Structure 1
Amino acid sequence: MTSEASTVLRLICKTQSYDWGKVGSESQVAQLASSTAGFTPRDDAPYAELWMGTHPSGASVSVESQEPLKSLLTQQNLGPKMHAKYEGDLPFLFKILSIGKALSIQAHPDKALAKELFAKRPDLYKDDNHKPEMAVAITPFEAFVGFRPLHEIATNIKAYPEFASLIGQETAQKFLTQVSSSGTSTTPEDVQNNKAALKAVFQALMECSQEALTQHLRSLIGRIEAEGKYEEQGSLPELVVRLNRQFPDDVGIFCALLLNYVKLQPGEGIFLAANEPHAYLSGDCVECMAASDNVVRSGLTPKFKDVSTLVRMLTYNYTSPEAQILRGDPYDDCKRTVLYDPPIEEFSILRTNLKAEESEVVKAIAGPSVVIVTEGSGKIKYTENGAHREQSADKGYVFFVAAGLDVELEAKGEDFVSYRAFCA
């Protein structure tokens, strides 16, 4: 028996300090965490992540009782189906990220590969679960996600001879020939050959020697700086120069020529499926993921780069950056709430955006959810044991919401934005 039976619990959530985080009050993580009594951000500390959930490395606790959230989860407030399926725990970890410096270029294994990696290298891969992720911007947000369309990569190979020299002229020319002959074809055979050519380019980059990498990258940086055309944020020259300043002589810098660059506005999102390359570059977002720590890294990091695993695991799908962006779909009969619904079972996200004095009722969800207010102030209203209840819901407030509960969100005298991760 738990000491709390409340269906809506306000939570204290843990911040994580990594060197890539934004510093002090510039960080949305720090701003949101400041709603918790006793938290004062340091001006010289990076605040990278706010964790909302039951992960043991940063478990949330009840404001009222100080008990860990996991100890308060029951068959009733998780819902019988979710309680049985996920063994009495949340199936997702919800986060806020504040990124001042690029995160590593990485991919997450699917379930089959996760089991294989965990069995072979449990020192590196800590569990046997997959780790799909979704991010929704709360400030302007930059990321790499998936491989560029083939014709864009071909254009970059031609425009950046340093890259062609690094991967080898033979590999570069085979790719250009393949794209010229079949780059727009959708027949299964041509798509397979296109992916093989792309894999050869990526593998040649990932397996290049540090000596060759340093030589060609410094040559490229010198040429870009001499030309002086790297002021436009998000342009290839600007990205190459910026990433080299953050990670000098790192192989991941050349990935800017291969991966889609996206700049998201608040409310726009991306889904990061298994076996797809990606990297967050800057900005603030809400992020939700399955409960796993499995990451295979390839660049923009001093950490271990598992090149052989990464090269063989990627799908080598290629598509436009616009195709990667999610803007939310209408949800139920709500007017001010949209749904981001990835093709997985562990989580989805709702975004509710209210103008001053507006309110919205979100009908009961079959499974548990976690809500964070990222902008404004208001109330969260619900009925518990036949009685009407309400709690203040100001910027930075985080709530666990039980399964099967209608919830009304109400804005006070300013715009109000909340995000809600759930599993149904």
Structure 2
Amino acid sequence: MTQVFKIVPTTQKYDWGKIGLSSKVAQYAAAAKIPGFTLDEKAPYAELWMGTHPSGPSRLAGSDTTLKEHIAAYPELMGEKVVSRFRDAGAADGNLPFLFKVLAIEKALSIQTHPDKKMAEALHKEKPDVYKDANHKPEMALALTPFTAMCGFLPLNEIATYLSATPEFATLVPATIATKFIVAASSADPSSPEAKTALKDLFAALMTAEEAIYKSRLADLVSRYEAGGACEQEAGVKDLVLRLNSQFPGDIGVFCAFVLNYVKMQPGEAIFLAAGEPHAYVSGDIMECMATSDNVIRAGLTPKLRDIPNLVSGLTYGAGDASRHMVKPAAFDSAAHTALYDPPIPEFSVLQVLIPSGESETHPLIEGPSIAIVTEGKGALEWAGEKLGVAEGDVIFIGAGTGVKLYAGEDGQLAVYRAFVEAS
């Protein structure tokens, strides 16, 4: 049994995906010649899944055997520590505790949050047809191309500024709630119970506004912006409002532009979304890693089921600059061409590997399994006297306890993203 081998990912077509070869998902699938993949230049290619999730399980290259089945047969690939730490998540049965993805986003994803473990268990028990597992779903997005997203609540004073500057937004919030919020924004510690309660009341009032009223106010807002009537305080949100409304006309989720941070990220920048943090990806191509779960609570910008009561009750109501969600890259051992993105959860970390033409990089053994994808260039992986050639689009599984050396070809940079779990 070899410790390193290629696996075949699955592609997902959702209406928010980028079309044809404009999508990184389609580019990688085409480059790797995924069996059964035929490019449709008119189809939206939204996600590439790499892992053991039952809705899109990876298989061993040249085989019908799923990755989960193979790991279950050879548990040493998972590693004893990971099996022990994540037994409740099915690690003993071959389930990886993380799911690694490429996302290609043309149309905004829904305003959403993910439950913590306790809430996930309760939702699964109450509505198993909607919340299909009892696991939490923290996630990290690492930009491959310029990427935009809404994430976390704005600083309270910025929301208060929009309440004063944007009448269409302000009229959706009862005056007593707005007044209470403005007082809290000017005097309370943002982390205090008073501030969190004021923010929760404001957000709940916004998301439960009467449909006829918010549709009318949104139409007024869009007309004003299209006529050039945005005031100075609205300059940073005008284009986002118009973009979201063009994709989801008359949707209450458009007003979330006035309460959530709007971040514009460059390749190599990453954000982490813990349980209870509201967010929506807006555009761009990313690497995404998450705990293996399907639990999403939605409230806007979506044709899918909206669960506003559970979304409102499940948020943490932390407020502040978007920098609090950023994941700063760190050194990985002594590897010169590798950056470590290590969010504050045990299920996963991600390595970005950018090796210049003709050079190599050594990764020490990791006491857990890894999945890596080549996003640029050609090269090879070497381990325990074996060697495997790789190229753009190839996806590789690396078993626990395996040190590897990566080589870039002579004709350009080798770019690899590697997700792993290492239980201590």
**Could you state the TM-score of these two structures normalised by the residue count of structure 1?**
0.94
Residue segments in structure 2 that go unaligned for 5+ positions in a row: none
Residue number in structure 2 paired with 1:279? 280
Residue number in structure 1 paired with 2:217? 216
Residue number in structure 2 paired with 1:9? 5
1:327-364, Cα deviation, whole Å (9 max, x unpaired): 31111111111111111111111111111112100000
Alignment of 1:80 with 2:76, yes or no, is: no
From 368, 381, 404, give the equivalent of 2:401.
404
Alignment of 1:317 with 2:321, yes or no, is: no
| Rounded Cα–Cα distance in structure 2 between residues aligned with 1:70 and 1:312 | 35
1:10-409 alignment, distance < 5 Å:
10-37=6-33, 38=35, 39-73=37-71, 74-84=74-84, 85=87, 86-87=91-92, 88-182=94-188, 185=189, 191-227=192-228, 235-383=236-384, 388-409=385-406
On the 8 A contact 1:267/1:327 being kept in 2, the answer is: no
On the 8 A contact 2:137/2:291 being kept in 1, the answer is: yes
Q: Residue type matched to 2:221 in 1?
A: L
Q: Residue type matched to 1:93 in 2?
A: L
Deviation of 1:128 after TM superposition, in Å, equals 0.7
Q: Residue type matched to 1:14 in 2?
A: T
Deviation of 1:64 after TM superposition, in Å, equals 3.2
Q: Go from structure 1 to structure 2 and tell me whether the alpha carbon gap of 1:6 and 1:66 turns closer, same or farther (over 3 Å shift).
A: farther
Residue number in structure 1 paired with 2:417? 419
On the 8 A contact 2:360/2:408 being kept in 1, the answer is: yes
Q: Residue type matched to 1:379 in 2?
A: A
Q: Residue type matched to 2:78 in 1?
A: L
On the 8 A contact 2:273/2:325 being kept in 1, the answer is: no
| Rounded Cα–Cα distance in structure 1 between residues aligned with 2:64 and 2:25 | 21
On the 8 A contact 2:224/2:230 being kept in 1, the answer is: no
Q: Residue type matched to 2:291 in 1?
A: A
What secondary structure is seen at the aligned counterpart in 1 of 2:368? coil
Structure 1 segments, 4+ long, off by >3 Å, are none
Q: Go from structure 1 to structure 2 and tell me whether the alpha carbon gap of 1:268 and 1:220 turns closer, same or farther (over 3 Å shift).
A: same
1:235-275, Cα deviation, whole Å (9 max, x unpaired): 30000011000001111100011001111111111111001
On the 8 A contact 2:327/2:342 being kept in 1, the answer is: no
| Rounded Cα–Cα distance in structure 1 between residues aligned with 2:333 and 2:121 | 37
Deviation of 1:229 after TM superposition, in Å, equals 5.8
1:163-207, Cα deviation, whole Å (9 max, x unpaired): 11011232222211221222xx36x6xx11111111111000111
| Rounded Cα–Cα distance in structure 1 between residues aligned with 2:176 and 2:245 | 26
Q: Residue type matched to 1:96 in 2?
A: V
Deviation of 1:40 after TM superposition, in Å, equals 3.4
Paired-residue identity, % = 49
Deviation of 1:323 after TM superposition, in Å, equals 2.6
Instruction: Say what the alpha-carbon RMSD is for the aligned residues.
Output: 1.6
Q: Residue type matched to 1:242 in 2?
A: R
1:111-147, Cα deviation, whole Å (9 max, x unpaired): 0001111111111110111111111011111111100
1:310-339, Cα deviation, whole Å (9 max, x unpaired): 111100001111232223111111111111
1:51-82, Cα deviation, whole Å (9 max, x unpaired): 00111111111113332111111221111222
What secondary structure is seen at the aligned counterpart in 2 of 1:166? coil
1:282-317, Cα deviation, whole Å (9 max, x unpaired): 000111111110010011001111111111110000
**Aligned length in residues:** 409
Q: Residue type matched to 1:157 in 2?
A: L
Q: Residue type matched to 2:347 in 1?
A: E
Deviation of 1:367 after TM superposition, in Å, equals 0.3
| Rounded Cα–Cα distance in structure 2 between residues aligned with 1:76 and 1:398 | 20
What secondary structure is seen at the aligned counterpart in 1 of 2:302? coil
On the 8 A contact 2:289/2:348 being kept in 1, the answer is: yes
What secondary structure is seen at the aligned counterpart in 2 of 1:284? strand
| Rounded Cα–Cα distance in structure 1 between residues aligned with 2:338 and 2:119 | 36
What secondary structure is seen at the aligned counterpart in 1 of 2:389? strand
| Rounded Cα–Cα distance in structure 1 between residues aligned with 2:302 and 2:240 | 16
| Rounded Cα–Cα distance in structure 2 between residues aligned with 1:331 and 1:345 | 17
Deviation of 1:234 after TM superposition, in Å, equals 9.1
Q: Residue type matched to 1:289 in 2?
A: M
